[in-house]
Amino acid sequence: MIEVRDIRKSFDGKEVLKGISTKYEKGKTNLIIGQSGSGKTVMLKTLLGVHTPDSGQILFDGQDYALLNVEEKREIRTEIGMVFQGSALFDSMNVEENIAFPLKMFTQKSDQDIKIRVQEVIERVNLNGANLKMPSEISGGMQKRVAIARAIVNNPKYLFCDEPNSGLDPKTAIVIDELIQEITHEYQMTTVINTHDMNSVLQIGEHIVFLKNGKLVWTGNSQEIMHTENEDIIDFVYSSDLLKEIRNFHNTKKI
């Protein structure tokens, strides 16, 4: 579990995160949603340790990250898997080498054991046959799968995903969402996903945190978000004409 207590972060005097407190539970897909500029990315990067909060605490399974020494912080980082928006696969490595990378860097496993583990993960994310392909030779959806495989290969406790669906067609986006949710349950990881994709919100949002102008304005799950009366959420969720029509239709039926 990751617990965030009253974190604040400013850049050049402008406060981007304004005292956010929440809990991201183990075995759940936790979503951070909000419009562009709401502080989602800063929030995620702060959780990852890329940014240091000005105040507040981030606790990884009860351990305050700020109080850990360099070696302990490094230890925590090896337990984090990250799926970047653009996949961030290493161009110079093929699929197999990309996935094996964390194992080679952080474990003492033999080459044979690494190969076996990589093959297991490749099969888990349905990438059979793509082992020797270079990132430039595979589709965006496959790149995302490789990124997920690389993130989970070392059995991390925490999985972070920054807009995992961006640039994907709706069908592939659903497949990626389902895959993330399945592996979250299977590996009992604490998964935090940064997204503004409403399909993801409705499909895999087991715990949703809504940010607006750096403030946490709503928390709930995918069922609750459909029925909330919170104006900010309604404004965000039903921003498209299609969804507005659906809501109007739904409300008319209720009357």
Partner 1 sequence: MFKSPTKWRIMKNLIFKEIDELIIGSLGIVCFLSFFIGAVVTIQTALNLNNPIIPKYLIGFTARQSIILEFSPTFISIIMAGRMGSYITSSIGTMRVTEQIDALEVMGINSLNYLVFPKLIAAITYPFLITISMFIGIFGGYIAGVYSGYLSSEEFIFGLQDSFIPYHITYAFIKTAVFGFLLATIPSFYGYYMQGGALEVGKASTQSFVWTSVAIILVNYILTQILLS
Taking the complex as a whole, the smallest distance from the CB of residue 202 to partner 1 amounts, in Å, to 27
Residue located via tokens 């669906």: 165
The residue among 74 and 244 lying less far from partner 1, judged by its C-beta, is 74
**Per DSSP, which regions of 73-170 are E strands?**
80-83, 158-162
Please report how close the Cβ of residue 90 comes to partner 1 at its closest, in angstroms. Answer: 6
- Binding segment for partner 1 among 35-43, 73-81, 121-129, 230-238 (CB under 8 A)? 73-81
Nearer to partner 1 by Cβ, of 161 and 233: the residue is: 161
Q: Mention every residue, 6+ apart, whose C-beta is less than 8 A from residue 201.
A: 31, 33, 195, 208, 222, 225, 237
Q: Which among 93, 2, 14, 36 has a CA at the least distance from the CA of 212? A: 36
CB 79 within 8 A of CB 158: yes
Nearer CB in complex with partner 1: 74/250: 74
SS3 51: coil
Report whether 176 contacts 125 (CB < 8 A): no
Q: How far apart are CA 157 and CA 188, in angstroms?
A: 8
Which letter does DSSP use for residue 207 in this model? E
Least distance to partner 1, CB of residue 252, Å: 45
Closest approach of Cβ 65 to partner 1, in Å?
A: 13
Residue from 11, 64, 74, 178 in contact with partner 1 (CB under 8 A): 74
Q: Cα(18)–Cα(215) distance, rounded to whole angstroms?
A: 5
Smallest distance from partner 1 to CB 86, Å: 6
# of chain residues touching partner 1 (CB under 8 A)? 22
* Other CB atoms within 10 Å distance of the CB of residue 116: 11
Using CB under 8 A as the binding rule, the residues of this chain from 157 to 216 that contact partner 1 are 160
Write the CA distances from 94 to 39, 60, 102, 145, integer angstroms: 34, 32, 14, 13
Does 139 engage in binding with partner 1 (CB under 8 A)? no
- The piece of 42-50, 55-63, 119-127, 220-228 that touches partner 1 (CB under 8 A) is 42-50
Q: Which of residues 78-117 bind partner 1 (CB under 8 A)?
A: 78, 80, 82, 84-86, 88-91, 102, 104-106
Q: Which residues bind partner 1 (CB under 8 A)?
A: 48-50, 70, 73-74, 77-78, 80, 82, 84-86, 88-91, 102, 104-106, 160
